[in-house]
Amino acid sequence: PPQKKMLEERYQKARTQFVQMVAELATRPQNIETLQNAGVMSLLRPLLLDVVPTIQQTAALALGRLANYNNDLAAAAWALGQIGRHTPEHARAVAVTNTLPVLLSLYMSTESSEDLQVKSKKAIKNILQKCTYLPALEPFLYDAPPNILKHVVGQFSKVLPHDSKARRLFVTSGGLKKIQEIKAEPESLLQEYINSINNCYPEEIVRYYSPGYSDTLLQRVDSYQPITN
């Protein structure tokens, strides 16, 4: 019926305006306390699973901005993990809000409660395992502890074989060099992931970015005897 459709449209518009307004307000630190006192976090959480993707993504953006300030961080971490685990699009929507570094810092902080650490770690894993947007993951190659790093490298090993542009970017950004520096146990899952990544590149490229290769080249220069007339 026309009336039902009109109500649905108005309801969707209201939800959209709400999340957009909160996301905008959350960019200014002076608004955070007011937003917290208004119970905005609990209002945003259901919208992470909204039927409208743009509302989901804007809610994730708002939560990501609030996560730095909110005392109820464990709940926020859990909520972000829940949206990130649905699809690669959901994971990207969360990842581009710079939420992953926030979750990582919460997980690694000695001041975080055990509950917060557990939920932050779970959220990170949920998001990582779905996220195919590699630029959001690359900083984790440098910052993540080994138990998180495994999942990060795993995502690169899934995406790089199928994306030539990503493979090139991974070289120019320093990612491939960083991969060669990771020390993994032989026959471990992490080593398998590293091997999968290396198999995406010519052998000489992998060798070039391996630790100690420049020293090897210099030794060859030192020992090289040019042909003289």
Could you say which DSSP state residue 28 is in?
A: S
Write out pLDDT tens, residues 10-36: 999 999 999 999 999 988 889 988 988
Write out pLDDT tens, residues 72-120: 677 778 888 888 898 898 899 888 877 788 788 888 887 777 888 899 9
Q: Which two tokens stand for residue 109?
A: 């902080």
Q: Who has greater pLDDT, 98 or 169?
A: 169
Q: What is the secondary structure of 101-129 as a DSSP string?
A: HHHHHHHH-TTS-HHHHHHHHHHHHHHHT
Q: Which domains can be identified in the chain, with CATH numbers?
A: 1-131 (1.25.10), 136-221 (no CATH)
Tell me how far the alpha carbon of residue 105 is from its chain's centroid. Answer: 13
26 and 66 in contact (C-beta within 8 Å)?
Answer: yes
Count CB atoms within 10 A of the CB of residue 108.
15
| Element of type H or E holding 164 | helix 164-172
